[in-house]
Structure 1
Amino acid sequence: MSETTRHMIRIDRKPQLFSFRVAGLIFHDGYVLAQRGAKDDYWALPGGRAEIGEDSQETIVREMREELHRDARVERLLWTVENFFSYEGYTAHELGFYYLLSLADAFPFHEEDIVHRVVDGVEVEFRWLKATPTALMAHRLKPQFIADRIERLPATGEHLIVKEGIAA
């Protein structure tokens, strides 16, 4: 894919929003790496939007290189998720791919502090969260289904339909 023709897969038709996001679970000693916009009050798994012409594994490897400055290896697909939620005045529909990842080089670790920052349009900060349902819920990790499944990752990929904050 040519570097001059990069287009993120995002359709903004306020109040509706569609995006294709790919994220990774990176573990270290019982913790999972999380990211948030410096002004946000919730955390998410590291990752970003897929680009046209890029498969989901290429996306997550590119995102880790851009944001963490590390080469990542895809271990396996954990979840494909059709996620429906409300966000900043939007009714959002996100197609998500969640991969178990390993990093080629060590990443800074601290049990409580921010370990990395990067500017990617906005300032994004990274920290390790205890990989337990209670800790992830307390830190408002989104989407919420991850907290429920963090202690029993699937051996093969699962497809989920998640509706958070959307009336059924």
Structure 2
Amino acid sequence: MMLSLIEGNQKFNYRIAGILIHDGKVLLHREKDQNVWALPGGRGEMMEEAQETIVREMKEEIGLEVNVERLVWIGETFGTYKGVRFHELGLYFLLRCTSKSKLLNTPRFCGIEGDAVDLVFEWFPIDQLPHTFYPAFAREGMKQLPMTIEHCIEKED
């Protein structure tokens, strides 16, 4: 069971995301019909450790085997997405690929999420991240990842 609660026009998500950097570029994704970019990941499942979630999500969505290096950010984000007010609690982990994959050198590729939502994945130079990459604390913090865990709160409204 994915950890997400909906009450009226409000939604709470528990999201686990991965920071995968290769050759000075970071992997981002977006839904095919949207222009909002994010770090790849997804919602945690009941009784699943957060590190297991991001390993599973990367394998399910793009077939990539990763190891978790460390937790970088705990993020609380408040805003509106697709007309729904949301509160998201996110854990952002630094990842490392466990093997060579052609995806590491493929500038843009597609993946699948859950109910067949098409995802677009793209490698972006860390110093040229899109303005539509959220959350903003990650967009700024990506330039120099903190050495200790940071707690970030972002209100997008």
TM-score in same-fold range (> 0.5): yes
Contact 1:137 1:144 in 2 (8 A): no
Taking only the aligned residue pairs, the percentage that are identical comes to 40
2:147 maps to 1:155: yes
Q: Distance in 1 between matches of 2:110 and 2:82?
A: 26
Q: Distance in 2 between matches of 1:41 and 1:87?
A: 12
The structure-2 alpha-carbon separation of the partners of 1:49 and 1:119, relative to structure 1 and needing over 3 Å to count, comes to closer
The aligned runs of 1:59-74 (5 Å cut-off) are 59-74=53-68
Superposition deviation, residue 23 in structure 1: 0.3
Q: Distance in 2 between matches of 1:37 and 1:160?
A: 24
Aligned partner (choices 93, 101, 106) of residue 95 of structure 2: 101
2:133 maps to 1:136: no
> For structure 2, which runs of at least 5 residues remain unmatched after alignment?
none
Superposition deviation, residue 119 in structure 1: 4.8
**What SS does structure 2 have at the residue aligned with 1:127?**
strand
The amino acid that maps onto 2:114 is: D
**What SS does structure 2 have at the residue aligned with 1:142?**
coil
User: Which residue matches 1:145?
Assistant: 137
The structure-2 alpha-carbon separation of the partners of 1:59 and 1:15, relative to structure 1 and needing over 3 Å to count, comes to same
Q: Distance in 2 between matches of 1:14 and 1:21?
A: 20
Q: Distance in 1 between matches of 2:111 and 2:39?
A: 14
The structure-2 alpha-carbon separation of the partners of 1:35 and 1:12, relative to structure 1 and needing over 3 Å to count, comes to same
**What SS does structure 2 have at the residue aligned with 1:98?**
strand
The aligned runs of 1:27-38 (5 Å cut-off) are 27-38=21-32
Q: Distance in 1 between matches of 2:110 and 2:98?
A: 17
The amino acid that maps onto 1:131 is: I
Superposition deviation, residue 43 in structure 1: 0.9
User: Which residue matches 1:85?
Assistant: 79
Task: Give the RMSD, CA atoms, in angstroms.
Answer: 1.3
Question: Paired residues, what number?
Answer: 154
Contact 1:47 1:64 in 2 (8 A): yes
Moved over 3 A (4+): none
Q: Which has the larger radius of gyration?
A: 1
The two structures have a TM-score, normalised by structure 1, of 0.86
Q: Distance in 1 between matches of 2:8 and 2:38?
A: 23
The two structures have a TM-score, normalised by structure 2, of 0.92
